[in-house]
């Protein structure tokens, strides 16, 4: 399709549906840790998909919401599908709507999960509706995960399997400013737990072995793992330990966030953590966790995809830049498998995971046009 006007008209005709549906979906609160709540959002999106001819497959889960796999276009086709990748869970607990209601102000919509990433989900459905209106039929898989905000423990294998069977992956996470994302850092989580020997700090000081002091020494070493030139950062973000100031502490732990820009650093960082040893022979160290998302590196397949998206965006009348981010997404998994992955194709806005989370209304339709153009032309 070289004349874009039918596509523009078809997507434009979806704009009021898009906004009503976005409101409906934001009003169904869906924190990752609440299965019935996430399932309610799954149910809403599944019925919307069915109404536009989508085939629904639920991957049932015990502890998380069900994983929603939707198929559009011909059931049999020589072409591989495009995988549209998103999630229905949010970081916001039930009841957040009371303090962060759905509202429109200053050209934006506000509400829990509106940017991360209920807009992206609804934009994908609107793009598919527009293509159906134009009679464009191609295999599309829309996978919506229930556990992305907690590291995708149950959905990862399904994401990876569907990605390997797809031509490419378009991730519906929010844009970075106005740019899409061609690189993301990998993410790790470690816990250091030190067990020492408790004693009375006044009566019996020398028989104690302080878990707190030992942990403090270890954290100095851990902080030294940061290497900004490699894009490697190590952040002890949580620390806890001890019981009272007059007791030599028996327990202390720290939770540490790790970000890596290079795939090769996963093993390197892990080795550094595993080589940590206590200085005080009376203390014991236990290390749990690891790297849970590989980095999405800026590989040729992704760059080629980005160039196509940039060209389509230019035809639609806007400039699409590329950016890298320190945050992870499910696109990290698909990119690490070598499947061309372009991320940040969802809404434009700000404040993901923050009280001012919002999307800019004027970008909703143009970005949906870009999604539709990608689906029609890739
Ligand atoms: Zn997200």
How many angstroms is it from 146 CA to the middle of ligand 1? 11
- Specify the pTM: 0.91
For the residues 234-239, what does the mean pLDDT come to?
Answer: 96
Q: What is the pLDDT of residues 44-98, one digit of tens each?
A: 999 999 999 999 999 999 999 999 999 999 989 999 999 999 999 999 999 999 9
pLDDT number for residue 5: 86
Q: Which residue has the tokens 């330990």?
A: 241
- Whole-angstrom CA distances from 118 to 60, 101, 113 are 21, 15, 6
pLDDT number for residue 3: 72
How many angstroms is it from 88 CA to the middle of ligand 1? 9
- Whole-angstrom CA distances from 373 to 56, 314, 361 are 24, 11, 20
Question: How would you classify the pairing of strands 322-325 and 180-184?
Answer: parallel
Cα angle, residue 191 at apex, residues 63 and 219 outer, rounded to 5°: 160
How many angstroms is it from 241 CA to the middle of ligand 1? 32
DSSP 344-366: --S--EE-TTSTT-EEEHHHHHH
How many angstroms is it from 345 CA to the middle of ligand 1? 11
How many angstroms is it from 213 CA to the middle of ligand 1? 38
pLDDT number for residue 2: 57
Residue percentage of the chain with pLDDT more than 70: 99
pLDDT number for residue 4: 78
How many angstroms is it from 116 CA to the middle of ligand 1? 5
pLDDT at 1 over 50: no
How many angstroms is it from 295 CA to the middle of ligand 1? 16
C-alpha torsion 26→159→171→42, nearest 10: -20
How many angstroms is it from 284 CA to the middle of ligand 1? 37
Residue percentage of the chain with pLDDT more than 90: 96
On whether the CB atoms of residues 350 and 105 are closer than 8 A, the answer is no
How many angstroms is it from 209 CA to the middle of ligand 1? 43
User: Which among 360, 278, 314, 330 has a CA at the least distance from the CA of 114?
Assistant: 360
Helix axis angle, 361-377 relative to 5-12, nearest 10°? 130
Instruction: Pull the structure tokens for residue 24.
Output: 């409906």
How many angstroms is it from 329 CA to the middle of ligand 1? 7
How many angstroms is it from 173 CA to the middle of ligand 1? 5
């Amino acid at each position: 399709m070289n004349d874009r006007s039918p596509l523009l008209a078809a997507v434009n005709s979806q704009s009021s549906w898009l906004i009503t549906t976005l409101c409906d979906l934001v009003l169904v609160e869906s924190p990752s840790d609440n299965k019935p709540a996430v399932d309610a959002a799954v149910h809403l999106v599944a019925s919307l998909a069915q109404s536009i001819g989508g085939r629904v497959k639920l991957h049932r889960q015990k502890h998380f919401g069900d994983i929603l796999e939707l198929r559009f276009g011909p059931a049999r086709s020589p072409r591989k599908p495009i995988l549209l990748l998103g999630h229905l869970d949010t970081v916001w607990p039930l009841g957040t709507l009371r303090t962060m209601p759905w509202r429109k102000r200053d050209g934006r919509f506000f509400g829990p999960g509106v940017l991360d990433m209920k807009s992206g989900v609804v934009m994908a459905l609107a793009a598919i509706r527009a293509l159906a209106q134009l009679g464009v039929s191609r295999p599309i898989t829309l996978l919506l995960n229930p556990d992305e905000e907690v590291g995708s423990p149950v959905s990862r294998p399904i994401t990876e399997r569907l990605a390997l069977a797809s031509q490419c992956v378009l991730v519906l996470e929010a844009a970075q400013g106005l740019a899409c994302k061609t690189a993301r850092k990998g993410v790790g989580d470690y816990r250091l737990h030190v067990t020492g020997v408790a004693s009375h700090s006044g009566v019996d000081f020398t028989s104690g072995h302080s878990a707190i002091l030992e942990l403090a020494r270890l954290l100095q070493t851990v902080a030294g793992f940061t290497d900004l030139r490699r894009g490697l950062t190590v952040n002890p973000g949580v620390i806890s330990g001890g019981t009272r100031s007059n007791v030599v502490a028996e327990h202390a732990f720290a939770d540490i966030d790790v970000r890596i820009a290079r795939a090769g650093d996963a093993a390197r960082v892990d080795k550094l953590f595993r080589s940590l040893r206590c200085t005080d022979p009376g203390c014991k160290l236990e290390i749990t966790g690891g790297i849970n998302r590989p980095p999405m590196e800026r590989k040729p397949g992704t760059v080629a995809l980005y160039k196509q998206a940039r060209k389509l965006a230019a035809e639609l009348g806007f400039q699409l830049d590329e950016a890298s981010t320190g945050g992870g997404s499910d696109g990290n998994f698909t990119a690490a498998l070598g499947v061309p992955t372009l991320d940040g194709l969802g809404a434009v806005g700000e404040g993901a995971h923050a009280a001012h989370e919002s999307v800019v209304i004027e970008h909703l339709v143009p970005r949906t046009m870009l999604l539709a153009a990608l689906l029609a032309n890739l």
